[in-house]
Amino acid sequence: MSVLSALSVSRSPAAAFAILGMYWGSFAAFIPQVKQGLGASDDTFGLLLLGTALGLVSAMWMAPRLDRRLGARAMPTAALLLACAFLLPGLAPSTVLFFAAMVVVGAASGLTDVVMNARVSELEASHARPLMNANHGMFSAAYAVGAVLAGLSREAGVPPVLHFACLAVLPILALRLLTVPTVAAPAADPAAGGMPWGTVLIAGSVVLMAFLSEAAVESWSALHVERTLGGSAAEGALGPAMLGLTMAVGRFSGQAVSTRFRETAVITWAALVAATGAIIAATAPTPAIAYAGFGILGLGVSVIGPIGIALAGRLVPPSFRTEAISKAAVIGFCGFFLAPTGMGLISEHFGLRVAFGAIALVLLCVPPAAAILVRRGA
């Protein structure tokens, strides 16, 4: 199935992926300005970003229940909550209120993430074709656009709250497109047993390593370019923009690749490519070389998370699909606990070069996890 065909089939969740990407890309580009405004050190700011992870994980545990209750209204509701939540960080006058704002942002993002991934998984089951990479590609493409637009806003002196207020037009215009009926899950088959936790945990660990690496670049690439390499605000914004752009290319390409090769083989090779990119970014002498590293990392890591989530939904009985996706996503988004804190602590004591080198080591743990999934029937 081509990328355009896949996006046509899944246009409703694809719109949600695009909206979420625009918001997170914009936020990544505003991070240096937000950090400076709070006057926080690297390790303190890393701890503040844990608010996002706390909100994400809390929302993801509740998301399956909310999804069932809201039905067709789940995606538009999540998108509107997202638009309101992203107004808060730019209004926070203190570190405590900023942390609370990030909890709200994480909760809205987590609800949106689980609901839109569940809709894609339902469509994959009904059409018997992979759709996850194309939809995650929409997130990455929108992420790159959001980062560039936010970089231009920073250069023009536009405050974060005004930028995010303008972005709220997107979910409002897309409300009708986002309102789609859900597919009722079949009743649980007693013969199938309970939730296959082993499979969910391994698939979730693959998502965790991918999202940890992605979150590290999202949160710290602009600072690496501006502080370590002496780049301007616009040049710093190109760090997360390059990640989003190459992840979009990788995911759209992965849509075709995943139909021709075993998915576990794809994520194994992708992890090796991404680790190479992390090393290049860590050792870069100039912003241009750092962009190349972020780009190579983005190409590699782009397909790992979507495939991990897809496997979590595919390798369990249909009655457990949404629950398995939610649990794998919870495990995966724990990367948002580890990335901000780990990168901040390592950067504070050893510098951002060493911090990005540590990301390469994390990515090298993906191939062994993929080998375990092969033995479980992936």
pLDDT digits (tens, 9 = 90+) for 93-106: 889 999 999 999 99
The CA distance from 273 to 278, in Å, is: 9
Question: For the chain, how many residues are written?
Answer: 378
- What is the spatial distance between Cα 263 and Cα 69, in angstroms, rounded to a whole number? 33
Q: Are residues 348 and 364 in contact, defined by beta-carbon separation less than 8 angstroms?
A: no
- Residue 34: is it exposed, middle or buried by C-beta count within 10 angstroms (0-12/13-18/19+)? middle
Q: Tell me the two tokens of residue 141.
A: 């493409």
pLDDT at position 134 is: 82
CA distance 207 to 192: 25
How many whole angstroms separate alpha carbon 202 and alpha carbon 196? 11
Give which of 174, 54, 72, 57 is closest to 118, Cα–Cα.
72
pTM of the entire predicted model: 0.73
Locate 16 and state its tokens.
């949600």
What are the residue ranges in the chain where pLDDT is below 50?
Answer: none
Q: How far apart are CA 161 and CA 144, in angstroms?
A: 19
- Pick from 108, 168, 136: nearest CA to 21: 136
Which residue carries 């996006």 as its tokens?
7
> What letter would DSSP give residue 376?
T
* CB-CB contact of 294 with 281 (8 Å): yes
188: left (phi over 0), alpha (psi -120 to 50) or beta: beta
CB 150 within 8 A of CB 131: no
d(CA 264, CA 276): 19
Burial of 36 (0-12, 13-18, 19+ CB in 10 A): exposed
The tens digit of pLDDT for each residue in 207-255 reads: 999 989 988 887 788 888 888 888 887 788 788 778 878 888 887 877 6
Angstrom distance (rounded) from CA 25 to CA 145? 7
Rg (CA), the chain: 19
Q: Which CA distances in Å does 144 have to 160, 187, 301, 327? A: 17, 41, 15, 28
- Spatial CA neighbour of 333 closest among 205, 148, 225, 158: 205
pLDDT at 311: 83
C-alpha distances in angstroms, 261 versus 3, 266, 267? 16, 7, 10
CATH of domain 3-180+194-375: 1.20.1250.20
Are the beta carbons of 22 and 142 closer than 8 angstroms?
yes
77: part of which helix (H) or strand (E)?
A: helix 74-85
For the chain, report the end-to-end CA distance as a whole number of angstroms.
Answer: 20
pLDDT in tens, 311-356: 887 777 777 777 787 788 778 877 866 777 788 888 888 888 999 9
